[in-house]
C-alpha cells in the first residue's frame, strides 16, 4: 500500500495540473455505460464497487474484483427507466484453476422503444427503434497476497434511427485488499476507448472516461461495511454553472458576498459517493443498502423544493440457490428507477444432480 500511495498522488497531480472544465454532462457518446448494472450497484450509488465476493456484476465496472468465488455464477439484472425505457445486464464468470485466472462476460442493453418518424412538417412517415448494446469480456488475477489486477474489453453498438455507431473501450483496475484490516482500495480506469464508427461521418465523439478511487472498509465487530468513491479524478471542476440558480441576496435585500470556498467545498463533495451495506444472517444472506451521490443530488434537485435526489437504497436476500436483489436510485422529484437482480451458481445444480443415484447402479 505504501508503494501505491505515491503513484496515486502523482496521478492526481498530473490530472489536476491541466486546464479546468465546466460541467461534465453532454460531452460524450455512449453515456449509457454509466448506468448501474445491477440492483446492488444502483443501491450503492452507481459507481465502481470494491467487493471481492461471488457477485460477477462488480467486474463489469471493476475487473480487479474477479476471484474464484465467482466461478459458475450467472446473474440477470433489469431496470425500468423513465418513459418505458428498458435497461439490463447479464453476466457470467468462470475460474480457470490451471492459470489461476478468473474470466467473465457480460451483455448490457438499453432499449428505448418505438418512435414516430416524421418529416419537417410533422407528418408521420413511419416508425423506428433505438437501442444501445455493450458486450464485455474481462479477466482478473491475484498477483500477490494483497494485490489483484483486472481488465475489461468492451464492444459498443448504438443505433438511433438511421444513425449507427461502433465503439471500443476498456477498463483497467488495480485493487489492494488487506484481509487483516478488512480494507479494500481500488483504482479503476473506466471507459477508456475510441469511437470506431461515428454517428456522423467525420465527427468522432469522446467516450465517458472516468478515473475512480474506491475505499471500502468492513467493521470488525459489526456486520457493516461502508465505502467512499472519489470519481472523476481526472477532472477537478464538475460544477454545473446555472445562472438561474445563483442567489447573492442575503437578508433585507443586502447583496451576499461571494465565497470562493463555498464553490470549492461543493465541488469537492460532488466527486464523492457514500454508501453502506448491512450484512446479516448466516453467510451474509440478508443485506440492506443505502447510498448518497452528491453530484446527482445537486444537479437533479429543484432549487425551491426539497427532495431525496441522489439517494439510493435496496436489499438483497438469498433463497435456496438464488440471490434476489432490489435497488432503487432516486434521480428527481418525479421519481426514481427500480432495479431487480437474480443470480445463482450453476455448480450448485450440478452438485445436486451428481448426488442423486443413477438407475441401475448401487
In a domain, 206, yes or no: yes
Cα–Cα distances (Å) from 237 to 52, 186, 295, in that order, read 32, 22, 12
**137 lies in which domain range?**
4-116+124-355
In a domain, 87, yes or no: yes
| Structural domains of the chain, count | 1
Please tell me the predicted confidence (pLDDT) of residue 348.
87
In a domain, 318, yes or no: yes
Please tell me the predicted confidence (pLDDT) of residue 246.
53
Q: Is the pLDDT of residue 24 over 90?
A: no
In a domain, 360, yes or no: no
What is the 8-class DSSP label of residue 357? Answer: P
What DSSP string describes 75-112? EEEEEE-GGG-EEEEEEEEEEETTTTEEEEEEEEEEEE
In a domain, 101, yes or no: yes
Structure-block grid coordinates of residue 15: 490530472
Higher local confidence (pLDDT), 35 or 13:
35
Burial class (CB in 10 A: 0-12, 13-18, 19+), 290: middle
In a domain, 266, yes or no: yes
In a domain, 29, yes or no: yes
CA end-to-end span of the chain, whole Å?
56
In a domain, 269, yes or no: yes
pLDDT tens digits for 271-313? 999 999 999 988 889 999 999 999 999 888 887 778 889 999 9
Mean pLDDT, rounded, for 144-159: 96
Of residues 64, 66, 43, 44, the one with CA closest to residue 54: 66
pLDDT tens digits for 322-357? 999 999 999 988 788 999 999 999 998 866 544 434
pLDDT tens digits for 84-117? 899 999 999 999 998 999 999 999 999 999 998 8
Amino acid at each position: 500500500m505504501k508503494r501505491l500511495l505515491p503513484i496515486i498522488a502523482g496521478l492526481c497531480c498530473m490530472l489536476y495540473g491541466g486546464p479546468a472544465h465546466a460541467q461534465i454532462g453532454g460531452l460524450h457518446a455512449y453515456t449509457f455505460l454509466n448506468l448501474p448494472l445491477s440492483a446492488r450497484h444502483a443501491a450503492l450509488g452507481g459507481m465502481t464497487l470494491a467487493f471481492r465476493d461471488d457477485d460477477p456484476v462488480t467486474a463489469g465496472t471493476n475487473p480487479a474484483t474477479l476471484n474464484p468465488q465467482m466461478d459458475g455464477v450467472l446473474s440477470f439484472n433489469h431496470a425500468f427507466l423513465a418513459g418505458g425505457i428498458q435497461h439490463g445486464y447479464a453476466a457470467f464468470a468462470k475460474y480457470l484453476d490451471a492459470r489461476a485466472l478468473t474470466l467473465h462476460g457480460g451483455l448490457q442493453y438499453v432499449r428505448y422503444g418505438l418512435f414516430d418518424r416524421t418529416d419537417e412538417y410533422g407528418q408521420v412517415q413511419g416508425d423506428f427503434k433505438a437501442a444501445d448494446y455493450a458486450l464485455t469480456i474481462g479477466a482478473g488475477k491475484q498477483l500477490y497476497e494483497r494485490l489483484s489486477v483486472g481488465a475489461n474489453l468492451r464492444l459498443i453498438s448504438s443505433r438511433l434511427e438511421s444513425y449507427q455507431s461502433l465503439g471500443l473501450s476498456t477498463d483497467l483496475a488495480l485493487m489492494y485488499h488487506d484481509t487483516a484490516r478488512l480494507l479494500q482500495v481500488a483504482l479503476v480506469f473506466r471507459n477508456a476507448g475510441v469511437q470506431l464508427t461515428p454517428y456522423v461521418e467525420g465527427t468522432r465523439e469522446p467516450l465517458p472516461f472516468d478515473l475512480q478511487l474506491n475505499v471500502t472498509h468492513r467493521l470488525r465487530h459489526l456486520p457493516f461495511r461502508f465505502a467512499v468513491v472519489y470519481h472523476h479524478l481526472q477532472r477537478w471542476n464538475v460544477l454545473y454553472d446555472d445562472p438561474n440558480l445563483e442567489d447573492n441576496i442575503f437578508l433585507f435585500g443586502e447583496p451576499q458576498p461571494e465565497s470562493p470556498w463555498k464553490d470549492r467545498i461543493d465541488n469537492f463533495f460532488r466527486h464523492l459517493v457514500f454508501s453502506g451495506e448491512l450484512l446479516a444472517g448466516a453467510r451474509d444472506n440478508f443485506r440492506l443498502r443505502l447510498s448518497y451521490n452528491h453530484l446527482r443530488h445537486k444537479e437533479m434537485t429543484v432549487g425551491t423544493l426539497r427532495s431525496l435526489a441522489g439517494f439510493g437504497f435496496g436489499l438483497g436476500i438469498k433463497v435456496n440457490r438464488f440471490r434476489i436483489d432490489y435497488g432503487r436510485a432516486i434521480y428527481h422529484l418525479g421519481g426514481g428507477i427500480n432495479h431487480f437482480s437474480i443470480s445463482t451458481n450453476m455448480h450448485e445444480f450440478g452438485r445436486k444432480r451428481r448426488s442423486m443415484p443413477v438407475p441401475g447402479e448401487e
